[in-house]
Amino acid sequence: MPVSERQLAEFADKRAWQIPFDTSPRHLAGPGDARHVTHGLAAVGWTRTSDPLSAEIVLRSPDGRHSLQLDPQSATSAWWRLRAEPTDTEPDWYAEFGELVPAEILASVTDALLCPPRAEPPGPWQALSSAAWKLDQQNSAHSPDGMCHIELRPLGDRDTPSWHIETREHGHGHPVGPRIWHAWFDHHTPSHLVSAFVTTLTDTAPLQRGMFERTAHYSAVKELSPLSPQQVVDAHTARLDALRIQARAARRRQRPATTQPLGPPPKAAAPPVRR
């Protein structure tokens, strides 16, 4: 079992004394527990390739193509970095996330990477509209409280735009105030991963945080949750079990596509364009 009984017990021990509070809006809920992300990846076979005694954690997928880095000592504001190496048919891509991005929202991206949907999900703009975020005319939107901003904009000289998400303090005499956290997806990031992030970010359901757990902003609203600590632990364990089943099913669906057909070999694909 990739996530050991000891690791699950440590997660449960921490939650046992934390009274859960429903915390909203999500973009101000704070980072939560990073194990919401790392346990999910480990449950389907990702392994740690970094020094076990280092504060930095690097997890790599079984096929070696994808990696997730958590570096709390990063010299930049990006604590999380998600990467994909190029293949003969797919380009490399990169996404990064700041310290205070809620773990549950980041986990929606890694979950979608592990278990791709059978059909293309609704796009980010549809999710934003359904959540009553204000859509601007120039490929941008912001949350009802005006603190979280999403923009699809070009990077440098590239014609293909990339997704930029930022949560900021309200400005005092300026359009925006200091940044609280950010997320960025480069222009090659699969669209269903961006959709997963935006859909989970804009969900109005609260996130559970412990009574004294850090939030991203003092204006986050915390109310006593109807869930008990044990129910929070049970939900975590059930999610890991569901991920294993879904990832196994996704791998079975992908196998026929990787089987070589009979007959002459296909023409070689052009090498991917590197950034």
Tell me the per-residue pLDDT of 170-222, one tens digit each, with 9 for 90 and over: 876 555 789 999 999 999 999 999 999 999 999 999 999 998 899 999 999 99
For residues 150 and 140, the answer to whether their CB atoms sit within 8 Å is: yes
How many angstroms separate the most distant Cα atoms in the chain? 69
Contacts of 196 (CB under 8 A, 6+ apart): 108, 109, 111, 112, 121
The predicted model scores a pTM of 0.87
DSSP code per residue over the chain: --S-HHHHHHHHHHHHT--EEEEESGGGS----THHHHHHHHHTT-EE-S-TTSS-EEEE-TTSSEEEEE-TT-SSSEEEEEEE---SSS--EEEEEETTS-HHHHHHHHHHHHS--SSPPPPHHHHHHHTTPEEPSSSEEE-TTS-EEEEEEE-TT-SSEEEEEEEEPPPSSSSS--EEEEEEE-TTS-HHHHHHHHHHHH--SPEEEETT---S-TT-EEEE-SS-HHHHHHHHHHHHHHHHHHHHHHHHHHHHHHSPPSSSPPPPPPPPPP-
Tens-place pLDDT, residues 80-130 = 999 999 999 999 999 999 999 999 999 999 999 998 887 788 889 999 999
